[in-house]
Amino acid sequence: MLNIALFGPPGAGKGTQSEFLVRKYNLYYISTGDLLRKEMAAKSKLGNEAQSIIASGGLVPDEIIVQIIEKTITENPGSNGFLFDGFPRTYIQAYILEGLMIKLHTSLNCLISLNVPEEESVSRLLNRGKTSGRSDDNEQVIRNRLHEYNQKTLPVLQFYKDKGIYREVDGTASIEKVHEQITAIISQELSKSLFNVVLFGYPGSGRGSQGKALAKHFGLEYVATGAMLDQEIRMHTETGKKITELYENGQLVPDEIVVQLIEKKLANSKEIKGFIFKGYPRTLVQSYILDGLLRKHGSSLSQIIEIEVPTLELISRLDARSKTDSCMPYDNSTSKIVKRLHEHETKTVPVIEKYNQLHGVTKVNGMGDFEEVFTRISEVIENGIRSMR
């Protein structure tokens, strides 16, 4: 997720820049000013309480702000993250934002301050007042808003300077130049965040060969739990022996074993752009484990893809593979193949459904030759990376 707070005095251009950023990065826009104006228009209890304060240019109490933000944020649609405009405006609100981010299992990437001198703010707001229809865009109220900004809002910057996520741009430059400065900061932020893909598909759908090739193509680390387990078998470790027994019975390997192997892989992967997970998560429990593991590394899932192949085709592919050298111990008999398909159906399909509700799963047609399917999935990943970066 990409979470940004735009900071600056009234009239700094936060609203204008937000419009670009929301579109460019598919962010969910939260302007506390807009939310308050909506409450006022609806004549709600919160709106009525805020009305006279806003009209005088004062700051609405944190208690009201937390309620309107909470209401909006929990509706959290499938966006790439949040863009906050006009929030946090007090030191207390900076703490509120920290709490909200924790609740959403994410964090603020940076606070970008649009620096504009006071007189420039005043003249811009007076100008805007001619057309905005906002009762608070008149000189006396503007002066009061700036006074509140200097007294209560400016100290918020120290909070983010201490956290090391404060960035600033020259807000007096042209709209395009300010936009360029902001996108340069965001690109830098995004290059720090990992792009993580989960590749789903029934056994025989090609997720292994595709996953490996895609990881190479996009410079991502390939995490195939099956291959990790095989390595344990090949190295004749104690874990390997246990795994062999489970394979013989067509059973899944316990989470304790798999989680340790993934943990090791994540910890050893330095300077990488992200991961492609194949064959994991396979159960609902594993989906929670994966969220937890990524979260521990300050990351989250970016994209979920399912390769779709009709059942008869799957069976014929698996049967063909069982007669070749690439036959795995878990697909050397019809009964084992059927058992694996059944395990996927009963345990993994509910995971895909859960992801579909939470993040959306992109389905890709897995029929056709390797190159065709590879091209289809690559396009999906390219789009995902583009919308994230």
Enumerate binding residues for ligand AMP (CB under 6 A). Answer: 10, 32-33, 36, 53-54, 57-60, 65, 86-87, 89, 93, 136, 145
Whether 116 and 178 have beta carbons less than 8 Å apart is answered as no
Smallest distance from the beta carbon of 84 to ligand AMP, in angstroms? 9
Smallest distance from the beta carbon of 24 to ligand AMP, in angstroms? 21
Smallest distance from the beta carbon of 157 to ligand AMP, in angstroms? 15
| CB-nearer residue toward ligand AMP: 84 or 277 | 84
Whether 385 and 273 have beta carbons less than 8 Å apart is answered as no
Number of Cβ atoms within 10 Å of the Cβ of 184: 12
| CB-nearer residue toward ligand AMP: 59 or 215 | 59
| CB-nearer residue toward ligand AMP: 50 or 309 | 50
Contacts 24+ apart (CB under 8 A), 62-68: 62/90, 62/92, 62/93, 62/96, 64/36, 65/32, 65/89, 65/93, 65/96, 66/96, 68/32, 68/35, 68/36, 68/39
Smallest distance from the beta carbon of 75 to ligand AMP, in angstroms? 18
| CB-nearer residue toward ligand AMP: 133 or 192 | 133
| CB-nearer residue toward ligand AMP: 152 or 317 | 152
Angle, CA 277 vertex, CA 275 and CA 283 arms, to 5°: 145
| CB-nearer residue toward ligand AMP: 124 or 336 | 124
Matching residue, tokens 């590749």: 199
| CB-nearer residue toward ligand AMP: 147 or 177 | 147
Q: List the strands of the sheet with 221-224, edge to edge.
A: 221-224, 275-278, 197-201, 303-308, 362-365
Number of Cβ atoms within 10 Å of the Cβ of 321: 17
Smallest distance from the beta carbon of 7 to ligand AMP, in angstroms? 11
Burial readout 209-231 (b: 16 or more C-beta within 10 A, e: otherwise): ebbebbbeebebbbbbbbebbbe
| CB-nearer residue toward ligand AMP: 93 or 205 | 93
DSSP code at position 172: T
Number of Cβ atoms within 10 Å of the Cβ of 172: 15
Whether 54 and 136 have beta carbons less than 8 Å apart is answered as yes
Smallest distance from the beta carbon of 59 to ligand AMP, in angstroms? 4
Smallest distance from the beta carbon of 150 to ligand AMP, in angstroms? 13
Burial of 12 (C-beta count, 10 Å sphere; 0-12/13-18/19+)? buried
| CB-nearer residue toward ligand AMP: 38 or 297 | 38
Of 301, 297, 268, 298, the C-alpha closest to 286 is 301
Which residue minimizes CB distance to ligand AMP?
A: 33
Task: Dump the DSSP string for 219-264.
Answer: TPEEEEHHHHHHHHHHTT-HHHHHHHHHHHTTPPPPHHHHHHHHHH
Smallest distance from the beta carbon of 38 to ligand AMP, in angstroms? 11
User: Which amino acid makes up residue 283?
Assistant: T
Number of Cβ atoms within 10 Å of the Cβ of 182: 23
Angle, to 10 degrees, between the axis of helix 156-163 and the axis of helix 91-103?
50
| CB-nearer residue toward ligand AMP: 53 or 341 | 53
Q: What's the rounded Cα separation, in Å, for the pair 306 and 63?
A: 44
Smallest distance from the beta carbon of 189 to ligand AMP, in angstroms? 23
